[in-house]
A and B are shown apart, each in its own frame.
Chain A
Amino acid sequence: QKEVEQDPGPLSVPEGAIVSLNCTYSNSAFQYFMWYRQYSRKGPELLMYTYSSGNKEDGRFTAQVDKSSKYISLFIRDSQPSDSATYLCAMGGGGADGLTFGKGTHLIIQP
């Protein structure tokens, strides 16, 4: 059974801190991984996409995938109050059966 675990938070950190968000999964069929940011009653906004194990950096965001541990992370450097949102991890396998999402972590950046 496909399952993705994500701590719902809330996670509250001061402005400028490094934020670490994580998901674990149990299904080794997952091959690609994404992080989305979602504001209340809005659509998920794609932040990062990774296919293989390792790190991928884009601006202040770094996505990390460890397939051997079935663990993925998103790091946000120099966090800003505008980063306050819910962050969703999502992952997919080899077919067209869509993404499996975590429940999302509610992040609050305190000015």
Chain B
Amino acid sequence: EPEVTQTPSHQVTQMGQEVILRCVPISNHLYFYWYRQILGQKVEFLVSFYNNEISEKSEIFDDQFSVERPDGSNFTLKIRSTKLEDSAMYFCASPQGIRTEAFFGQGTRLTVV
């Protein structure tokens, strides 16, 4: 199965600090997504990214969030000023197109203290 790689696997940060979560999507895929899963809750869509710009974003994805593709392979999610309620698993997903199979990374567990 194609592999999506996420780093770090676990990050602990203090409230108010900035964090950057990293993803290496599948190399020939065109769309990149970030999802969030708060412990015990549903996986929730945050944002989709295509052709170096945001395609869609959910109401969760407010001004404290941003996404970038700083080079040809990495894809990042930045949370500018973390809050306690940002504690969750964050998943990067890489489908080939907008209606195809979506492969998920193993996630970054973010703990805000």
Assess the B48–A98 pair: CB atoms within 8 A: yes
Nearest CB on A from B77, distance (A)? 14
B101 near A: Cβ within 8 Å?
yes
CB within 8 Å of A: which B41-72 residues: 41-46, 48, 50, 55-56, 58
Instruction: List the 4 shortest-distance A-B pairs measured between CB atoms, nearest first.
Output: A98-B45, A96-B55, A97-B56, A43-B104
Total chain A interface residues with beta-carbon distance under 8 A: 26
Nearest CB on A from B43, distance (A)? 4
CA distance A51 to B99 in the complex (A): 8
B interface residues with partner A (beta carbon < 8 Å): 1, 4, 6, 31, 33, 35, 41-46, 48, 50, 55-56, 58, 89, 91, 93, 98-107, 109
Nearest CB on B from A3, distance (A)? 11
Assess the B1–A46 pair: CB atoms within 8 A: yes
CA distance A32 to B96 in the complex (A): 14
Nearest CB on A from B98, distance (A)? 5
Nearest CB on B from A50, distance (A)? 10
Q: Identify whether the interface residues of A are mostly helix, strand, loop, or mixed.
A: loop
CA distance A99 to B44 in the complex (A): 8
A71 near B: Cβ within 8 Å?
no
Assess the B42–A102 pair: CB atoms within 8 A: yes
Assess the A97–B99 pair: CB atoms within 8 A: no
A interface residues with partner B (beta carbon < 8 Å): 31-32, 34, 36, 41-46, 49, 51, 88, 90, 92, 94-104
Nearest CB on B from A1, distance (A)? 12
- Contact among A43, A94, A100 with B99 in the assembled complex (CB-CB below 8 Å): A94
Assess the A42–B98 pair: CB atoms within 8 A: no
CA distance A103 to B35 in the complex (A): 14
Given the contacts A96-B48, A96-B50, A103 and B42 also touching, CB distance less than 8 Å: yes
- Contact among B31, B41, B50 with A103 in the assembled complex (CB-CB below 8 Å): B41
CA distance A95 to B54 in the complex (A): 13
